[in-house]
Amino acid sequence: MTRAVPERSASLHADPGAPRHIAIIMDGNGRWANERGLPRLAGHRAGADNLQRVLQTLDSAGVEFVTLFAFSTENWNRPTSEVNGLLDLMQSVIGECVDELHKRNVCIRHLGELDQIPASLADATREAVKRTASNTGMNLCVAFDYGGRTEIVRAVRRVIAAGVAPHDITEDLIRENLYLPDVPDPDLIIRTAGEQRLSNFLIWQAAYSEYYQTPAYWPDFDDVEVERALNEYKRRRRRFGALPEED
């Protein structure tokens, strides 16, 4: 679905140097739980409990798009109990958060596949997206059953199915067939828990994203951590493959 990108919101506290789009790999829930002698799912629950505050802080900073990596195509390979726990958690989070997000004018988007997940979760996701579709505030894009390679293959298939000849296939055409074509590329990708890889997240869109990692586990990623990430982003000089002006 292609929709118009809303104008940048004019929040009183918005930071003019803030990234327009932040994508987050919320890693370390399992280690957070393990260090406390808790089951892994308690870590995922704690991670979910951390969401609203981080989103509110990013919204206040004037970030227009936040994409969260909630469940990857590779996460199906985890033990069934953890997969089911994550699916149940997503369903609970939708139930708990959508009213509040809607009140805050947040537009919820989904990227990924909906046909492998339980029908009740797929329906709740579609319903949350539909209910908040005309909201004009921050776009919250939830990557659930999402994989970057799957997204690219799907885009290429759609282009071919539309009868486009090989020499007419362009980057723009691929982009137009991604899950959320109107969402700009992430300016900043944050990964918690110290890992330094993309793990098949937004691999097309990340071509020129700034990458930031912190040792903090996702449930501990608090406002101080958010501020550090935003400050680090401001120090980066983005060149997109060109030379800086003074060279």
> CB of residue 89 vs ligand FPP: minimum separation in angstroms?
5
Kindly list the residues in this chain that would bind ligand FPP in the complex (CB under 6 A). Answer: 26-31, 44, 47-48, 68, 70, 75, 86, 89-90, 93, 142, 193, 218
Catalytic residues: 27, 75
| Eight-state DSSP code of residue 118 | -
- C-alpha span between 45 and 92 (Å, rounded): 10
Residue (39 or 181) nearer to ligand FPP, CB: 39
- C-alpha span between 158 and 155 (Å, rounded): 5
Secondary element (H or E) of residue 159: helix 148-161
> CB of residue 120 vs ligand FPP: minimum separation in angstroms?
15
> CB of residue 243 vs ligand FPP: minimum separation in angstroms?
38
Q: Is 24 helix (H, G, I), strand (E, B) or coil?
A: strand
Whether the CB-CB separation of 62 and 9 falls below 8 Å is answered with yes
Secondary element (H or E) of residue 212: strand 210-213
| Eight-state DSSP code of residue 56 | H
Residues 6+ apart with CB under 8 A from 213: 190, 191, 192, 194, 195, 196
- Cα distances (Å, whole numbers) of residue 245 to 13, 200, 237: 31, 33, 11
> CB of residue 109 vs ligand FPP: minimum separation in angstroms?
12
Residue (47 or 155) nearer to ligand FPP, CB: 47
- R_g of the chain computed on alpha carbons: 18
Residue (159 or 217) nearer to ligand FPP, CB: 217
Residue facing ligand FPP at closest CB distance: 30
- C-alpha span between 195 and 76 (Å, rounded): 20
Residue (177 or 186) nearer to ligand FPP, CB: 186
Residue (20 or 31) nearer to ligand FPP, CB: 31
- C-alpha span between 97 and 101 (Å, rounded): 6
> CB of residue 136 vs ligand FPP: minimum separation in angstroms?
22
Amino acid at 213: Q
